[in-house]
Amino acid sequence: MSVDLRTRYLGLELQHPIVASASPLTGSVESLKRLQAAGVAAVVLPSLFEEQIDHEEMETHNLLLYGAELSPEASGFFPEMQHYRTGPDQYLKLIGDAKKALSVPVIASLNGHTPGGWTSIARQIQEAGADAIELNVYFLAASVDDTSAAVEQRYVDLVASVTQHVGIPVAVKVAPYFSAMANMAQRLAGAGASGLVLFNRFLQPDIALEDLEVAPHLVLSTSDELRLALRWIAILRGRIDASLAATGGAHTPDDVLKLLLAGADCVMLASSLLTKGPAHVGTLVRGVQAWMAEREYSSVAQMKGSLSQQSCPDPDAFERANYMKALKSYTSEFV
Ligand SMILES: Cc1cc2nc3c(=O)[nH]c(=O)nc-3n(C[C@H](O)[C@H](O)[C@H](O)COP(=O)(O)O)c2cc1C
């Protein structure tokens, strides 16, 4: 049985739902070509950081220190940045070169935390040929004076600040730590986001006991992380007017299938491609196709969201009731 794997994400038609997430693997044209040859449906370039735009002239060393102070995730990414193209000019060139070399959609990524002048780079990103922009909003509300209302407004203003510069779609990659995630998702869509990428991983710093230092700590994901995005995609599917991409913990065909059943429009991969290489895309696509054919699904469109909260027979399973059930079901020989 033939299965139609096509899906729409941010208004772009993808041949199937597997997308290469922002990582060092998407940071050079050679590597991007390998990903396309391996069958990936779209690519997200590594982020251009707000700090790089404001401080293009800074030496890389200073950039590392500055970035590490501002954002814990950035501190995790910066060691990788020797592989990244630093500075807007090189980034815009990467977009242009990637567009020339690839036929799959190229999504550029901006990583920032303040609404302001730097967001006008979005226009140049569009002019360089990007098919869409992924805006990674990375902000840790560490000040005791920051209220949740003010932090949320900052996200909304930032999204509006980027979207006002472009006609191409903008997806917003956010962390899950909002008191009212569903409402926040709706507000981001209202501010102009065409899609949400769920979720940004906050890389938590660690303490190195040997050196008594606080050290950045980048650990690749495992499939155990998947369920955070799974739950929220299932809850949001059909409730907000935006595409939904899953990122975080997708490693196997089963992981991808679960996210599609929950309602993801596409599934983004970084850790699994970094550990298994681009050829893993083929394994995932074939695995998804085989499962769907066996279950007599004719298309991703037909299957997508069929276990979202709105469609599944037990909507409570995504909320508090699930917590109670999970605790009650736990058994141990010592209890
Ligand atoms: C080494 C590395 C570099 C990354 N760089 C970026 C980046 O530049 N921008 C971004 O938005 N996400 C970045 N990410 C996050 C990934 O795109 C992805 O969202 C995250 O790793 C979760 O997906 P996974 O479980 O498939 O790894 C990076 C991840 C890794 C492991």
Q: Is 19 helix (H, G, I), strand (E, B) or coil?
A: strand
Measured from the CA of 274, which atom of ligand 1 is nearest?
31
Q: How far is the CA of 92 from the centre of ligand 1 (A)?
A: 20
User: By C-alpha distance, which of 86, 145, 144 is closest to 111?
Assistant: 86
CA distance 19 to 3: 18
The pLDDT tens digits for 232-262 are 999 999 999 999 999 999 999 999 999 999 9
User: By C-alpha distance, which of 247, 283, 192 is closest to 26?
Assistant: 247
Q: Tell me if 67 CB under 6 Å of ligand 1.
A: no
CA distance 33 to 81: 20
Residue 323 amino acid letter: Y
The pLDDT tens digits for 311-335 are 988 888 888 777 788 888 888 898 8
Q: Tell me if 270 CB under 6 Å of ligand 1.
A: yes
Local confidence pLDDT in tens for the 335 residues of the chain: 789 999 999 999 999 999 999 999 999 999 999 999 999 999 999 999 998 886 544 344 344 433 444 444 444 444 444 445 467 999 999 999 999 999 999 999 999 999 888 899 999 999 999 999 999 998 888 999 999 999 999 999 999 999 999 999 999 999 999 999 999 999 999 999 999 999 998 788 889 999 999 988 788 999 999 999 999 999 999 999 999 999 999 999 999 999 999 999 999 999 999 999 999 999 999 999 999 999 999 999 999 999 999 998 888 888 877 778 888 888 889 88
Q: How far is the CA of 73 from the centre of ligand 1 (A)?
A: 10
Q: Tell me if 249 CB under 6 Å of ligand 1.
A: yes
Is the distance from CB of 170 to CB of 160 less than 8 angstroms?
Answer: no
Q: How far is the CA of 25 from the centre of ligand 1 (A)?
A: 10
Q: Tell me if 269 CB under 6 Å of ligand 1.
A: yes
Q: How far is the CA of 159 from the centre of ligand 1 (A)?
A: 20
